[in-house]
């Protein structure tokens, strides 16, 4: 879906001006209760601003609280006839996430008030930001603005008649060429994230493994990424017994998708991204409860994450080699479905006792990890809605990460700080290995105990990772689906988490050494 255009402008192009205000707490006059906070302007002073601030001080109807917006219609402010007040919260807590959410707040107000075009006074938002940092803050602002309007309406016969803003013009920042580049980068990220969101929001019958491969293939072709798809016969030939076991109960055949982007040196091995693509998960024979099972269409958000990341990497022409692998299957309880107690075999011949058919994502990922290692990647990162336990631990606010490389985990954490996409490391204690010992196979796919579920899932994957290859597992079961904590993540839809983080990580990639 297309977002409104964002342009730098030196002249007024609309009749509405947006101004950012911080919220300043007033001193208490007595011990019980003080006056409400007052809006504080940090941009360029003017006679129009002085008059406006006088009115705001007297009325107390707008305090500058974070993400609050208030439209003053038919209020003359220079050449403008409307003024949109935008709250930025406390100046002491101002950061990139503040402006990202301010961008979303402006878009939502623009849509609500049916303002086709609007002009933002850039200095009013970035007055406290060092000049060299303004492009980074501007990119964050544009991300919030571009992501807030996402909706999935592809399958509605009667499309919503919701008003669609057409443009945002930003004044006062046009002299720095880096600002224009920041807007372009944000646009590429928003398009890629919204593509991933739309993959996730498609129901299972519109995103079967085969349909997913075609959608991802079309995207790859549009951005110049090589796409190879293995059908069932090729999957069997490659000895992906774990992936086949997951999909064998469904009439929808599995697919294995490979995306290759080469932007780095020919001699550099690729960074491997692996995505869980369970297009619908009933739990198989270990069937899930009926309540909210429809949300299991989101069990392929790991695949959406890597597909969206590859789209962003290609659009931004990042100087790194990246290969993505998507293991796609539908987990159904059919007559040929895998059963608890069955033993399946991986690409390299490792055997797995199936304890719980609802622990299927890790099986598909294990085959993908072993296949990816044939290409000798310099690092592996996998993404999966793997465990409900990570939601119990972290809610929807953060992605649980774990891995075998302190250096790679550190890089992911630094990218998290830079992009405001939270991650939290969970342990892979050696003692967890005991939870997955099987008397009948090399390993079993689930523990008999309910404790440490996320780490047990990671422990299973670790068993298939070459000990020399740096690897990080990202459990997005909470962060990847419907979110309520960010105003640029519409709550009824997929979140598109980790794509900003991944893109930053890869944009700043330096070759990583093998583990000893």
Residues with catalytic function: 288, 362
Q: Check residue 336 and report its DSSP letter.
A: T
Helix (H) or strand (E) holding 109: helix 96-112
- What burial class does residue 442 get, using C-beta atoms within 10 Å of its C-beta: 0-12 exposed, 13-18 middle, 19+ buried? middle
Q: List C-alpha distances in Å: 245 to 248, 330, 369, 382.
A: 5, 10, 16, 20
Q: List C-alpha distances in Å: 366 to 258, 347, 462.
A: 15, 9, 9
Going along 139-263, which residue ranges are E strands?
A: 167-171, 226-230, 255-262
| Partners of residue 83 on adjacent β-strands | 17, 72
Distance between CA atoms of 258 and 368, rounded to whole angstroms?
A: 10
Cα–Cα–Cα angle for 481, 380, 271, rounded to 5 degrees? 105
Kindly give, in sequence order, each residue whose CB lies less than 8 Å from that of residue 420, ignoring residues fewer than 6 positions away. Answer: 95, 96, 97, 100, 140, 500
Closest CA to 83 of 74, 92, 95: 74
Q: List C-alpha distances in Å: 414 to 49, 194, 407, 419, 504.
A: 40, 24, 11, 9, 9
Buried/exposed 394-411: b ≥16 CB within 10 Å, e otherwise: bebebbbbbbbbeebbeb
Helix (H) or strand (E) holding 278: strand 271-281
Closest CA to 485 of 425, 426, 422, 424: 422
| Partners of residue 164 on adjacent β-strands | none
Q: Give backbone dihedrals phi and psi of 471, rounded to 5 degrees, phi first.
A: -145, 140
3-state secondary structure of 473: strand
| Partners of residue 506 on adjacent β-strands | none
**Contact (CB, 8 A) for 358 and 289:** no
Distance between CA atoms of 241 and 235, rounded to whole angstroms?
A: 8
Q: Check residue 515 and report its DSSP letter.
A: P
């Amino acid at each position: 879906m297309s977002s409104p255009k964002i342009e730098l402008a030196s002249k007024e192009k609309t009749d509405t001006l947006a101004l950012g205000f911080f919220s300043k707490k007033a001193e208490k006059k007595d011990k019980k209760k003080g006056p409400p906070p007052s809006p504080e302007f940090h941009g360029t002073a003017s006679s129009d601003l002085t008059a406006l601030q006088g009115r705001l001080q007297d009325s107390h109807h707008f305090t500058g609280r974070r993400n609050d917006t208030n439209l003053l219609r038919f209020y003359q402010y220079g050449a403008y006839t409307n003024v949109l007040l935008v709250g930025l919260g406390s100046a002491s807590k101002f950061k990139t996430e503040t402006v990202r959410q301010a961008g979303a707040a402006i878009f939502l107000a623009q849509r609500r008030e049916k303002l086709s075009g609007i002009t933002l006074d850039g200095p009013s938002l970035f007055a406290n930001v060092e000049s060299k940092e303004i492009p980074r803050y501007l990119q964050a602002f544009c991300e919030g603005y571009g992501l807030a309007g996402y909706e999935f309406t592809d399958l509605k016969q009667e499309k919503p008649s919701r008003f669609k803003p057409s443009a945002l013009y930003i004044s006062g920042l046009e002299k720095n060429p880096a600002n224009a580049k920041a807007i372009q980068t944000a646009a590429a990220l928003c398009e890629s994230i919204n593509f991933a969101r739309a993959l996730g929001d498609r129901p299972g019958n519109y995103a079967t493994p085969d349909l997913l491969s075609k959608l991802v293939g079309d995207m790859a072709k549009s951005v110049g990424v090589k796409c190879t798809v293995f059908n069932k016969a090729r999957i069997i030939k490659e000895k992906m017994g774990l992936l086949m076991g997951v999909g064998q109960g469904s009439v929808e055949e599995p697919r294995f998708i490979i995306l290759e982007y080469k932007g780095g040196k020919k001699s550099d091995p690729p960074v491997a991204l692996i995505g869980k693509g369970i297009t619908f998960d009933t739990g198989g024979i270990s069937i899930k409860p009926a309540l909210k099972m429809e949300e299991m269409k989101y069990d392929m958000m790991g695949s959406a994450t890597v597909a969206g990341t590859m789209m962003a990497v290609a659009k931004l022409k990042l100087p790194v080699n990246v290969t993505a692998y998507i293991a796609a299957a539908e987990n159904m309880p059919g007559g040929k479905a895998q059963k608890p107690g069955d033993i399946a075999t991986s690409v390299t011949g490792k055997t797995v006792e199936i304890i719980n058919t609802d622990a299927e994502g890790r099986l598909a990922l294990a085959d993908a990890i072993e296949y990816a290692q044939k290409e000798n990647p310099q690092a592996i990162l996998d993404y999966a809605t793997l465990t409900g336990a990570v939601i119990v631990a972290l809610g929807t606010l953060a992605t649980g990460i774990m891995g075998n490389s302190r250096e790679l985990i550190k890089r992911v954490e630094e990218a998290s700080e830079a992009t405001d996409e939270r991650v939290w490391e969970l342990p892979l204690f050696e003692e967890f290995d005991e939870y997955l010992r099987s008397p009948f196979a090399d390993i079993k796919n689930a523990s008999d105990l309910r404790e440490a579920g996320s780490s047990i899932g990671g422990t299973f994957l670790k068993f298939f990772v070459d000990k020399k290859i740096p690897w990080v597992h990202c459990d997005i079961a909470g962060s990847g689906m419907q979110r309520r904590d960010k105003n640029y993540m519409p709550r009824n839809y997929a979140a598109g988490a980790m794509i900003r983080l991944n893109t930053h990580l890869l944009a700043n990639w330096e070759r990583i050494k093998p583990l000893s």
